[in-house]
Amino acid sequence: MSNEPNPVMRCADLTASELASLLARYDMLIESVPEKEEITGSFWGDAEAGLVDNRLFVRPDTPVHSALHEACHYICMDRERRTGLHTDAGGDYDEENGVCYLQILLAAHLPSVGSDRLMQDMDSWGYSFRLGSTRAWFERDAEDAREWLLTHGIIDENAHPSWQLRE
């Protein structure tokens, strides 16, 4: 656990299979990286999660929001970009919003986390939204993100994950 004043949840705070079971629904694999070793496929470096093909690389100190964010990039990118994916998930503004929205939805399926905690952690980490907080964005300004996910079949009309990758 971190010594930060308001620490964010780290992958070490989850049960061993919690994240793996969730992401297996998308045919994603979790690769554990030993503490202090460089994380393969990490765009930002440090403790941030990495992506290579359908594998998500995390260390015990990787923030849960980072793991979910990178996993959601994988889920939200089209099949062509998933082929040969290594480190840079890319994507446009609309996709990035969809990724942020989806990571909040998926957090609700992690019993140790939940959407409320994830939104708090996103704020603590420095995610920036027009209305000043992740919750305000999610509840009052994210209709475009929700619509994008719905259009691509990633969520259903009730904003529940479809457990399908974007084609």
Average per-residue pLDDT for the chain: 94
Q: Classify residue 163: in a domain, yes or no.
A: no
Q: Classify residue 161: in a domain, yes or no.
A: no
Share of residues in the chain with pLDDT > 70 (%): 96
pLDDT number for residue 82: 94
Q: Which of 61-65, 101-105, 111-115, 130-134 has the lowest mean pLDDT?
A: 130-134
Interval 65-107: pLDDT, tens: 999 999 999 999 999 999 989 998 989 999 999 999 999 999 9
DSSP state of 62: S
pLDDT number for residue 132: 87
Task: Please determine, for residue 4, whether its predicted confidence score (pLDDT) is greater than 60.
Answer: no
Distance CA 89, CA 94 (A): 14
Q: Classify residue 68: in a domain, yes or no.
A: yes
Q: Classify residue 32: in a domain, yes or no.
A: yes
Q: Classify residue 165: in a domain, yes or no.
A: no
Q: pTM of the prediction?
A: 0.93
Q: Classify residue 132: in a domain, yes or no.
A: yes
Stretch 97-118: mean pLDDT: 97
Domain of 99, in residue numbers: 11-151
When pLDDT is cut at 50, 70 and 90, the band that residue 143 belongs to is very high
Q: Classify residue 58: in a domain, yes or no.
A: yes
Q: Classify residue 142: in a domain, yes or no.
A: yes
> What is the domain count for the chain?
1
When pLDDT is cut at 50, 70 and 90, the band that residue 6 belongs to is low
Interval 26-75: pLDDT, tens: 999 999 999 999 999 998 899 999 999 999 999 999 999 999 999 999 99
Contacts 24+ apart (CB under 8 A), 34-37: 34/59, 35/59, 35/60, 35/61
pLDDT number for residue 5: 55
When pLDDT is cut at 50, 70 and 90, the band that residue 2 belongs to is very low
Q: Are 115 and 121 in contact (CB under 8 A)?
A: no
Strands (E), the chain: 29-32, 50-52, 55-58
